[in-house]
Every structure is written in C-alpha cells, then in structure tokens.
Structure 1
Amino acid sequence: MVRLDWRVVEGAAGLLGCEDREAVLGDLVEAGEGAWRGLLDVLGLVVRRQTELWRSWRPWVAALGVALPFSFLLMGFSVSVSLGYRQVTLHGGWLGLAGRAVLLVVLAWASGFVVGSVSRRTLWVSVVATLSPCLFCLARFRIASLSRGCLLLFVLPAVLGVWWGLRGRTVGAGVGLMLALGVSMGMGLWGGWWGNWFLVWPVWYLVVLGRGDEKAYPRG
C-alpha cells in the first residue's frame, strides 16, 4: 500500500475511538487489504459507530439543543455588546457594557462546556451546527457601523468551554450556584431581549454537575 494511501485510511480511522482505531488498522495490515477497500471498511465502521451514538439523547441536545440555537442567540448578544461599546464612547454607561460583556463570556463558556461534556464523540456535528449559522450571518451582515467580526465575540469563550468539558472538568456546587445566580441577576439587568433567557440553562447545568463528583457527569 502506498504511504499516502495509508495516511488517508489512518485519517479516516481518526474518527473512531482509540481502541477501535488501533484494532481496525491492525486488522487491515494483517489482512493486506488495498487502500480503497481499507478506506471503505473504516468509513463503514465510522457510520455504524455514529449511528449507535445518535440513539442517545446526548448528541441531539449538544448539536440541536445548544450548538445550533445558541449560535444565533450568542451572535445577537455579541452584536448587542458591540453596539453598546459604540454608544458608551459617546454617552457613557460603562457599567452596563461591562455587565453585558461578562454575561456574554460566561454564557458562551457555559454553552461550550455543555457541548464538550455531554457528547464528546459527536463534537464534529456540534461544530458544523455552530459554523453553519455563523457563515450564514457573516454573509448577510449589513450593519455599516460595525465589522462582521463583532458577530463572533462569543467564539473564544465558547471554545474554552468546550475544551474544559472535554477534559472532564467542572466547578463546585457552591461556585456554580453563585455563578448561576449572578448570571440570572445580570440577565434581568442587562440581558435585553427575553429570548436571551434561554442562554441561562447551561449555567444552572453546572450547578447540577457540581453536586456530585467533579468527574461524575454523563459523557457521550
């Protein structure tokens, strides 16, 4: 088998878990399968594994309950913070802007944490579910006074949240409760549109996780 062909097969096998990946690649080497046959075998196994994962509620919550709707809401919140910055440079009101900015960071981080912790093995679907609305809105952004980049203020804290969730970390119940109460109060003061309240539930999810062992939460 040509070296490049092996790299293609190995790349496809990267979609599998560590144990499956090593076992499948070992079997292909022993069987002396050709590149195309090996690639089809690996992709077939990937499809079967992914189908099994989607029988659980976790990937549905991560992709369709958080990643997709939260992308639209967090982009709207990002634009609100950007518009608020322009206003305070003219009329003041830095406290309100700071409150909204902190809310944006915490809400984006918490949503990313839920995606990373609830369904790690279907993370790629959640990434697609996040990127699709972002690309759609970037292509249609028409606020002359703002750059398109203002839509993506939430991305970095969300990525950090995903990373935190993938590593199996959480926060203590006390810290989580203080954070959730603070965010809920902040939403009442600076949250704006009532639909933004939907963004709060991942923060309360942290409280639920914190009541048990820091590493004892469901993963997909």
Structure 2
Amino acid sequence: MTLRTHARFVTLEGGEGAGKSTVLAALRGAFEQAGIQALYTREPGGTPLAEQIRGLMLDTHHEPAVAETELLLAFAARAQHVRTTILPALESGAWVVSDRFTDASYAYQGAGRGLDAQFIADLERRVVGIRPALTLLLDVPVEVGLQRMRGRGAADRIEGERNDFFERVRQGYRDRAASAAESERFEVIDASQTVDAVAAQAVARLQAQIARVLR
C-alpha cells in the first residue's frame, strides 16, 4: 500500500495535558466560521469497534499489555478508523480533524516503549496508507502537562506511567517534528503559553492550510 498525504486531513498531537481539547474547540470554530464541513474524531477510537480496542489498551484492570501488543492494538483500531470513518469523510469532500493519529505510535510505542521505528513505519504503510497534511504538535514540559492532569479522575494505564516515559514521548514527538521527512507538515506550538495564544497559533496554521487547498 502506498502512503499518501491527504490535504484535508489534520491531526492534533501532544503529550498528556497538552491542551488538545481546547485547540480542537478552536479549530471547530474556525471551520464553522468558514462554512466548511469537518469531521472530528479521536484515537484510539473513532468507531464502535475501535473504541472497544481503546478500552483494552487503557484499562488498568486486566493484565498489562506488552509493548508489541499495545502497538498492534493501536494499529488494529487505526485500520478500522481509517476505513470506516476517516476515508469515507475525506472522499465525501469533508475535512477531518483527528485527536492523535500515527505520530502517536511513533512517540508512545516507539520513543516511549522502545519499539523499532521501522516496524512502525511498515505498519503505517501496510495498514494505514494515509497521513495528514497538517499536524499541530502541542509541546509542553512534562511536569506542566501532568500538573494539568491532576484532579481529572483516575489515570488510565498510559496516564499512570512514570515521568521518564513521558519525557521520552515528548522527545519522540519533537524529534519527529524536526526530521527532514516530516517537518513540513508539523506546526510545533508552545502549549505552555496562554490558552488564547495557543488557540490563535493553531487556527492561523489551519487557515493557511485551508487557503492552500482552496486556491
């Protein structure tokens, strides 16, 4: 399968407590103001079956998944998500905004768990087949993000990881965004700024992508 970039596909990435929900609301407002139809979805999840797989990945009450199991569950959910939710929306002419996508596997299971990036790339090409044209990476220091998470309820299996795991995840995201092969589609946003400043930068980058597609 050929890995192709889709111009109307936008993803949000970042570690725990980065503020993706706030930015998603700002992007939704920008699309509505422009009169553009968009689908908003998330990973793991986005379909009934993929949401069940999400539960398996994040539930703290069953045996811990080894890194390879976690990765394959993520891609099983992603395959279902792409074919039953994302591609039909794109083919209908809508834009799609996903809270996390394949970059999360490179960051969490690759950098975080230590799995081989080439293995992840092979799965991306064989199982997923598409990539976003724009990825908004909300970058925040680990301690700041985890502080924001406190008080939100019980942590899931990944949220309960140690700080050094999240430091590796953050660095994995930053390295990917800086790489020659990926940097053009990334907009790295300092998510320790005010909510308004983060939202404004995200919306400005989205509007630039909309203008690029429509011209």
Q: Which has the higher strand share?
A: 2
TM-score by length of 2: 0.28
Structure with bigger RCO (C-alpha 8 Å, 6+ apart) = 2
Larger radius of gyration: 1
Q: Which has the higher helix share?
A: 1
TM-score by length of 1: 0.28
